[in-house]
Structure 1
């Protein structure tokens, strides 16, 4: 018997802030919406756009992370599987809803990646120990990264570059 695949990958923008709830047994679940756009030109050369709205569900630790760092309007990558739920409404009408159950998520907006935006845009000072262990010198993050890069730098010849 052939194997089947149920996998969805989307990159889009959140249509609403994530909403986190808990199941009766304490399992966190977060829901949010993502919009994706498709663009094309008609035979006459007119630019057209189609927008799809997707219902997204995250469970467990991923649900907690989504509710902390994602916000309406932010760009996000989600990967997961399709799941369709069916039920009978109070009015007796059969209803269904297709959603994407997330297995992986990446916040694509640089400032939303940490879920926290400091009021000041200055880099915090970090204390770095010098060789003498007695003196400590405050260094900004960018300077610290630059120092590490210099320490780890190797000579690279043109023969080592694959292109």
Structure 2
């Protein structure tokens, strides 16, 4: 069986909306604008954005709720997508892509990521003083457990 996965990058157009179903299942709705740029006669030109309504479920939904309007995200979507056409105020046709997220992550393409200090001491895997249990020690631990 083959599976189609759609991956796209865009900016959150609004704060994510977290809800819970009657059974307690978390769901989060994200409105994402995929801004396409094209180079025309040596100049970058913004085209009409593609809009996506992304739904995330479970733990992913709760994590997505921590995102903020304006964040650039990368969405990996399942193959159960729908397109809802509409007419813009200027009379041109448009559409909203509706997808279910398999994964949503922050895009690092334009982000100014800062390293975060970790309080744990670094370990050197090649340090000869680092000991690993021998097979016999590991077997004894399993028997004692």
Q: Which residue of 2 aligns with 1:27?
A: 25
Q: Which residue of 2 aligns with 1:107?
A: 106
- Higher RCO (Cα < 8 Å, 6 or more apart): 2
Q: Deviations over 1:102-151 (max 9, x none)?
A: 00122235689xxxxxxxx9957x3xxxxxxxxxxxxxx6xx34xx3xx2
Matches of 1:102 and 1:46, distance apart in 2:
34
SS in 2 for 1:152: coil
Contact 2:50 2:96 (C-alpha < 8 Å) held by counterparts: no
Q: Which runs of 4+ in 1 moved over 3 A?
A: 3-6, 44-47, 109-112, 121-124
**Residues 60-139 of structure 1 mapped to structure 2, 5 A cutoff:** 60-68=58-66, 70-81=67-78, 82-84=80-82, 98-108=97-107, 123=117, 126=119
Aligned-pair distance for 1:152?
Answer: 3.0
Higher helix fraction: Structure 1 or Structure 2?
Answer: 1
Matches of 1:13 and 1:65, distance apart in 2:
16
- State the TM-score, normalizing by the size of structure 2: 0.61
Q: Which residue of 2 aligns with 1:17?
A: 15
Q: Which residue of 2 aligns with 1:47?
A: 44
In structure 1, stretches of 5+ residues that fail to align are: 87-95, 113-120, 127-140, 155-163
SS in 1 for 2:101: strand
Using a 3 Å threshold, how does the CA distance of structure 1 residues 24 and 39 change in structure 2: closer, same or farther?
Answer: same
Matches of 2:17 and 2:51, distance apart in 1:
17
